[in-house]
Amino acid sequence: MPLSVLLQYLLPKRWLTQLAGVLASRRLGWFTRWAIARFVARYGVNMTEAEHASPAAYLSFNAFFGRALRPGARPLHPDAHWLCPVDGSVSQFGALRHGQLLQAKGHHYDVSALLGAQDDWTQALGAGHFATLYLSPRDYHRIHMPCDAQLRRMVYVPGDLFSVNPQTAQHVPGLFARNERVVCLFETADGPLAMVLVGATVVGSVATTWHGVVHPPRQAVPQRWDYDNAPTALRRGQEMGRFLLGSTVVLVWSTPALRWADAMAPGAPVRMGQALAWRAQ
């Protein structure tokens, strides 16, 4: 196991994450501007796509990290049934096998574990397809809807805070079902859809457009919000949430047969709004 992964078992990940969250939310004047400028240079962030291109326009690091793009920067594919919801890269994708998702070569994990044992949804999703999309530090960190959908449930699932980079995914079993995460469950014209927003080391918070920042007490008990009596409709391409610092999104559909876009391949870069998949004809 690489030293960088081994150290994650030893480091105080939750303390570091809480500290990063506090610092990222503060308005620290010249220090914030310096930190953003260093981050842009270190990771090669393309600020020409941002609604506000100057790092000095952002009063906190969180405001920079969750920045909006300028209008037209991410056109939506005109006819794909499912759009890519984020900028990032493909970790893995494919059909679930016996209710399991592929994490990395030699590593599988159960959809029930990923969803936090939402049994009524697990059965419907267990024979479908999945896509795991990794957001690196340089990426745009808002998350959009892959299709029209009605929100039915949101669940905060407590867990660990390992990094979710590709190297860690290769070496930590059950990583995405092990880390803290927010599970968003939707009904669509093609059946149930789960969008799982996975936390990671120094990911200060996850926010959704209908709830705001999800700030449950970090304890061993999941928290659940049901929206059956007041379902929220979200449109294809609409923003549904964002990460405050980077992480991973896992999509799981109930659709038993579909055709993936040609651009889909492990490690391939993706951009929000491009085609992800079509229904099989």
Q: Is 87 a catalytic residue?
A: yes
Cα–Cα distance for residue pair 4/6, rounded to 1 Å: 6
Q: Hey, how many other C-beta atoms are within 10 angstroms of the C-beta on 104? A: 19
Position of tokens 């500290």?
19
Of residues 60, 91, 163, 247, which has the active-site annotation?
247
Position of tokens 């479908």?
128
CB 237 within 8 A of CB 273: yes
Position of tokens 């990032």?
88
DSSP 259-274: EE-TT--TT-EE-TTS
C-beta contacts of 38-46 below 8 A and 24+ residues apart: 39/64, 39/137, 43/136, 43/137, 43/138, 44/138, 45/138, 46/138
Cα–Cα distance for residue pair 163/200, rounded to 1 Å: 5
Instruction: Using alpha carbons, select from 88, 201, 205, 102 the residue that is nearest to residue 156.
Output: 205
Q: Is 163 a catalytic residue?
A: no
Q: Is 89 a catalytic residue?
A: no
Of residues 60, 81, 87, 254, which has the active-site annotation?
87
Of residues 60, 144, 163, 254, which has the active-site annotation?
144
Task: Supply the residues annotated as catalytic.
Answer: 87, 144, 247
